[in-house]
Amino acid sequence: MSDTSGPGIPAPEGPSNRIDTGYEVGQDNISMSVGPFGLDIHNPVFAISGLTIIAFVFVTLAFQESTGAAFGDLRDWLTGTFDWFFLTAANIFVLLCLFLIISPYGRVRIGGREATPDYSYTGWFAMLFAAGMGIGLMFYGVSEPISHFSSSVAENAGTAESWAPLGGAAGDAAEARDLGMAATIFHWGLHPWAIYAVVALALALFSYNKGLPLTMRSVFYPIFGERVWGWTGHVIDILAVFATLFGLATSLGFGAEQANAGLNHIFGIPVSDVSKVVLIVAITGVALMSVVAGLDAGVKRLSEINMVLAALLLAFVLVVGPTMAIFTGFFHNLYEYARYLPELSNPFGRTDDNFRHGWTAFYWAWWISWSPFVGMFIARVSRGRTVREFLTCVLIIPSLVSVFWMTVFGGTAIDQLVNDGYQVVADAPLELKLFAMLEALPLQQITSFIAIVLVIVFFVTSSDSGSLVIDTITAGGKVDAPVPQRVFWASFEGLVAIALLLGGGLGALQAMAVSTGFPFTIVLLLACFAILKGLHSEPR
């Protein structure tokens, strides 16, 4: 009677070990109309998340100085005091992922033993990068290797004031270069992707295999049982919405500042509030079209466009830059990464406090605070992969791509600085370092323009995928909630960014978003336990 052909996902699935719960997805939802728009929202997650975010924005705007100092102090205290905790936790995530790849659990298939992948490798990879890291690679691809190289080679490397990793290599340019690249790759390699992979695997497993709603709370069913449908789960989901929206809104605000600086640098467009607001409105507008178009026609298509543009830019720098040095540098950097990894990931007995607190612990808190968003998005598009395939593709391959990206962009910049004496790349402000590097290469007008487009579209792909995630959480795990809800969250995110940009307070709320990384680290450690427990009961 009924066939199973469809436009995207082949049905089913085969044996999997479903969790028997009396909870029905959406049972706590309220269906209502606001004017002409129908809504299907979780009670109380939607209301509390929305109202708390509004309250925080008002408090931040009203008491800018005190909140800025308070949230900044909180972040510094957390990353300074609990650096060992962040570093240890991130190491655990990497080790767990590597263990799962080689263990028999790797055979478990997400979505059931006979499920087949929803997306091709190309579309899948494009979305992984576009949601989670693309924008960072654009900004830090040049600036971070240069920063670590400069601090490592400086005369004061190794002193208490220095920001050099592992005491640096004062006066030794070759060693400082290796250390700088290794430290950068450390922050963009296995550890951040392991953080995303843990959250994504946990969500995918408990949603597609166990049959629980696609929200953060579901991961904790093995620990809290039926209580996850009550306030315990509400708090987890609200925290996830909170971290995601503030993370996105503050990134959007800062991103607009950086994109504005880039446009000013290339085209002379004035740096002003008007320019920044126009950029935010434009980015939000495209993100709105993308979320309305859905995952396949919107987010995936934009991600693929971005991947092609990024590949073109990468290939260009590779060809016109120091090509041979980059190729040999890739393997050399991998070796240096492996060589320094034990020291860089060691949480105890180190003296490079500035680097450990200000860079590594900050990064880990930042990745972890983004993990509910990126993890949930990765989970949603990863049905049909085995755990081994999933982790190889979410952990190993993106790490290698990050190494290659950093080698091409950072390696070229360091080469320009050391071999050509091109000081501009070191002296340029953070948001312009990429453009400074491109300026020393041919066709800089074109490549800088592509870079600006990439930056903006990466923001769009973060904004639309983030809005889909927030919408799903605040709809109790339903992915078919009315479209106006997604429109609301994407617009809300843009409005929060504009309010904070004009009123001040972007830094304060970004500090607070990063601070949510601390409770989420505990949440993620519990998720590791839940993953093992969940996988153990799956047919392999």
Residues interacting with another protein, by CB under 8 A?
A: 1-13, 18, 24-27, 35-38, 111-112, 118, 207-208, 211-214, 292-298, 380-381, 383, 468, 477-484
**CB 9 to another protein: min, Å:** 4
Phi, psi of 29 (to 5 degrees): -80, 155
**Nearest approach, Cβ of residue 435 and another protein (Å):** 36
- 55-457-40 Cα angle (round to 5): 45
Our CB check for another protein shows the closer of 13 and 257 to be 13
User: CB within 8 A of 12, min separation 6: which ones?
Assistant: 4, 112, 114, 115
Q: How far apart are CA 338 and CA 335, in angstroms?
A: 5
CB of 401 to another protein, least distance (A): 24
Q: By the 8 A CB rule, do 118 and 383 touch?
A: yes
Shortest distance in whole angstroms from residue 289 CB to another protein: 11
Is the CB of 201 or the CB of 214 nearer to another protein?
214
CB of 212 to another protein, least distance (A): 6
**Helix residue spans in 133-230 (DSSP H):** 134-153, 173-188, 190-204, 221-224
User: How far is C-alpha 263 from the geometric centre of its chain's CA atoms?
Assistant: 24
Cβ nearer to another protein, comparing 144 with 471: 471
CA dist list (Å): 92 to 192, 328, 425: 12, 31, 36
Nearer to another protein, 6 or 421 (CB): 6
**76 CB neighbour count, 10 Å cutoff:** 17
Provide the Cα torsion 154, 158, 161, 164; round to 10°.
60
Residue 392 CB, nearest approach to another protein (Å):
22
Nearer to another protein, 219 or 414 (CB): 219
Picking from 339, 320, 309, 310, the residue whose alpha carbon sits closest to that of residue 404 is 310
Between 415 and 471, whose beta carbon lies closer to another protein? Answer: 471
Rounded to an integer, what distance in angstroms lies between the CA atom of residue 534 and that of residue 443? 53
Determine the 3-state secondary structure of 443 from DSSP: coil
The CB-of-393 to another protein minimum distance in angstroms stands at 18
Least Å distance, CB 376 to another protein, is: 11
Tokens of 167: 């005491």
Least distance to another protein from the beta carbon of 13, Å? 5
Output DSSP code: residue 32. Answer: E
What is the smallest separation between the CB atom of 11 and another protein, expressed in angstroms? 4
Query: Is 195 within 8 Å of 521 (Cβ atoms)?
Result: no
Q: Which is nearer to another protein, 192 or 476 (CB)?
A: 476
Q: Is the dihedral of CA 287, 289, 290, 295 positive or negative?
A: positive
The smaller minimum CB distance to another protein, of residues 288 and 500, is found at 288
Nearest CB to another protein, comparing residues 294 and 519:
294
For residues 270-305, b (16+ Cβ closer than 10 Å) or e, as one string?
eeeeebbbebbebbbebbbebbebbbeebbbbbbbb
**In this complex, which beta carbon is closest to another protein, that of residue 100 or of residue 481?**
481
